[in-house]
Amino acid sequence: MTLVADAAAGGSTAAAPTADITTADVTTAVLATCRRAKDASRPLRMATRGVKDAALRAVADAVEAATERIVAANAEDLARGEAGGTSPHLLDRLRVDAGRVAALAAAVREVAALPDPVGEVVRGSTLPNGLRLRQVRVPMGVLGVVYEARPNVTVDVAVLALKSGNAVVLRGGSAARSTNTVLVDVIRTAVASAGLPADVVTSIDEFGRDGVGALLTARGLVDLLVPRGGADLIQRVVREATVPVIETGVGNCHVYVDASADLGQAVEVVLNAKTSRPSVCNAAETVLVHRALADGFLPTLLAALSGAGVLVHADDAALAAARAAGVEALAATEADWAAEYHGLEIAVGVVDSVEQAVDHITRWSSQHTEAVLATDVRVTDYFTAAVDSAVVAVNASTRFTDGGEFGLGAEVGISTQKLHARGPMGLGELTTTTWHVLGDGHVRP
């Protein structure tokens, strides 16, 4: 049986693509996968919370039980990535060890324990004519999620979709294909064991870039697309999709240290924002420091960053502070202010005021997360009002922008757009609403 026939018949999606498969064949197979997901979404839409939570607990148990299998598959991906020259920050995102598998299973159980958003009444009223109105949360239907080198996303997205009553079509990228193949198989088997259609979770990894193209244009079968990855991936989805897209942006995140900041806290917060996990999108990429701190605090901060292995790209004033601290630094260019480094590098600049800091952020930010460190309420109020980003933190690290940290259990991504969802996308962001109009033979005059 050919690959296309297998996919159309609902068989495994883990097979390697045949050498002679055409773009038209790929499109046919991907649309067949999306159609099966659409069919599976109907009984899931009607499933009670008890049924969905039982399926989630089955997934958590199955993921834990498959730890050795998952880690072995991930070792294949890591070896292939290292041989191909994959960068260290991508290898970090790709890596799944026993501890990370346990964390994934724990996150699944956390999602199971969260309230079910489906059926929540957003608002309601009774009109003067006696009609009763209710706006109720309902599932989107079928989600398509395209992502890179992040096996944890496979689990996070699948369980959030399941809990919110949505089927999901996954495209996880070639870098993680061995790990994702195992994870998708484990999840599908667990879901089926709980009495739900296995096709509520499907993958099109086998179809490569042509498969992504078919998914982007599966309008009528896929209700929402979420790209999660680098700028090139996200822009491809935004440019080519005919399916509605929620854009998750790159993370050029900023920390502004005001003259009124608690300087002891500031060093700790900046180090955490940059070094706790520099490869992720909520890591800080630029620090702006008030000029009043350029002679005393800034050299201390730069020394701390350098001591943590961070390469500094500095403007003229920050270069002078670096020399005072005996820290090697590079002159910052415009490319540095725009950069998402994904590693132990940071751009540092000196500004005259919170207003100037906000001007810089407005020009260069990706509108992901920005932080202000200050005790002056006027400064924090101005910063939170003026900065137009998905998340604005006051006296806290940018690293808190995360679905798990926000109590959402997990996230599909961090939305940096302004329509429907913004910031970490949890269960509520995977629903839409339906209006229920309840009458008693009412007719409109």
Residue 6 has pLDDT above 60, yes or no: no
Closest by CA position to 207, among listed 59, 3, 381: 3
The DSSP result for 389-403, as a single string, is SSEEEESS-GGG-ST
Among the residue ranges 31-35, 141-145, 150-154, 379-383, the one predicted with the least confidence is 150-154
* Residue 7 pLDDT: 36
**Lowest-pLDDT range of 2-6, 130-134, 300-304:** 2-6
Average pLDDT for 92-103:
93
Could you tell me if 191 and 290 lie in one domain? no
Question: In sequence order, what are the beta bridge partners of 225?
Answer: 144, 245
Residue whose pair of structure tokens reads 């993680």 in the numeric block:
176
Structure tokens belonging to residue 79: 């070896």
- Spatial separation of the C-alpha atoms in residues 175 and 78, rounded to whole Å: 8
- Whether residues 48 and 187 fall in one domain: yes
pTM summary value: 0.84
Asked if 281 and 384 sit in the same domain, the reply is yes
132-139 and 431-438: which strand pairing?
antiparallel
For residue 416, is it within any domain?
Answer: no
> What's the pLDDT tens digit per position in 389-407?
999 999 999 999 998 899 8
Q: Where are the beta strands (DSSP E) in 172-244?
A: 201-203, 224-228
Residue 405 to residue 153: CA distance in whole angstroms: 16
Please tell me the number of Cα atoms within 13 Å of 264 on its side-chain side: 0
> Based on the domain organization, do 145 and 264 belong to the same domain?
no
Do 139 and 277 share a structural domain? no
**For residue 10, what pLDDT is reported?**
36
- Does the residue 417 lie in any domain? no
Q: Give me the pLDDT at residue 20, please.
A: 60
188 and 287 together in one domain: no
* Residue 285 belongs to domain spanning: 253-405
Q: Which of 41-45, 413-417, 436-440 has the lowest mean pLDDT?
A: 413-417
User: Given the structure tokens 């599909």, which residue do they identify?
Assistant: 412
E-state strands within 172-245: 201-203, 224-228
Average pLDDT of the chain, as a whole number: 92
Does residue 16 register a pLDDT over 70? no
Structure tokens at 285: 């990429």
Q: Do 138 and 164 lie in a common domain?
A: yes
Q: Quick one: 78 and 53 in the same domain? A: yes
Domain CATH number, residue 335: 3.40.309.10
Inside any domain, residue 443 = no
Residue 376 maps to a domain: yes
Determine, yes or no, domain membership for 315. yes
Domain membership flag for residue 441: no
Name which of 334-343, 372-381, 404-413 the model is least confident about: 404-413
How many domains are contained in the chain? 2
User: Does the pLDDT of residue 420 top 50, yes or no?
Assistant: yes
Q: What is the pLDDT of residues 205-221, one digit of tens each?
A: 999 889 999 999 999 99
**Same-domain status, 210 and 229:** yes
Question: Using the 8-state DSSP alphabet, how is residue 249 labeled?
Answer: P
Assess if residue 169 is contained within a domain: yes
Using CA atoms, how far apart are residues 37 and 358, in angstroms rounded to an integer?
Answer: 45
The structure tokens 């991504």 sit at 413
Strands 224-228 and 253-257: unpaired
Nearest to 44 by CA among 198, 227, 175: 198
Looking at residue 420, the DSSP 8-state letter turns out to be: S
Same domain, 97 and 171: yes
pLDDT at 268 over 90: yes
DSSP for 262-317? -HHHHHHHHHHHHHSSTTSTTSEEEEEEEGGGTTTHHHHHHHHHHHTTPEEEE-HH
> 171 with 23, same domain?
yes
Q: What is the CATH number of the domain that holds 138?
A: 3.40.605.10
Identify whether 442 is part of a domain.
no
Tell me: pLDDT of 23 over 50.
yes
Rounded distance between C-alpha atoms, residue 56 and residue 59, angstroms: 5
Same domain, yes or no: 235 and 269? no
pLDDT bucket at 308, cuts 50 / 70 / 90: very high
Residue 3 pLDDT greater than 70, yes or no: no
